[in-house]
Amino acid sequence: MILNRITWKGNNIKAYLNTTTYEKGIEVSKREFERIEKDYVLREKGIEKWSVIINPSKI
């Protein structure tokens, strides 16, 4: 698998395929999304739009 050979700043990438089917039409308010993002999402400075780390251990 290619993920075994790719690194980012010396760290190996950890990823898995999520095959869960989610219900359509579920919406989250902007306020709730901002709270979730503040608590669980880290962004790399300078490339915030493309570098997103979600910390599910808090969820």
* pLDDT of the residue at 3: 56
Greatest alpha-carbon span in the chain: 39
Q: What is the pTM of this model?
A: 0.44
* pLDDT of the residue at 29: 94
Q: Where are the domains of the chain?
A: 25-59
53, 41 in Cβ contact below 8 A? yes
Position 5, amino acid: R
* pLDDT of the residue at 4: 62
Give the model's confidence band at 56: pLDDT under 50 very low, under 70 low, under 90 confident, else very high: confident
In tens, the pLDDT along 3-55 reads 567 777 777 777 777 889 989 998 989 999 888 888 888 888 888 788 888 88
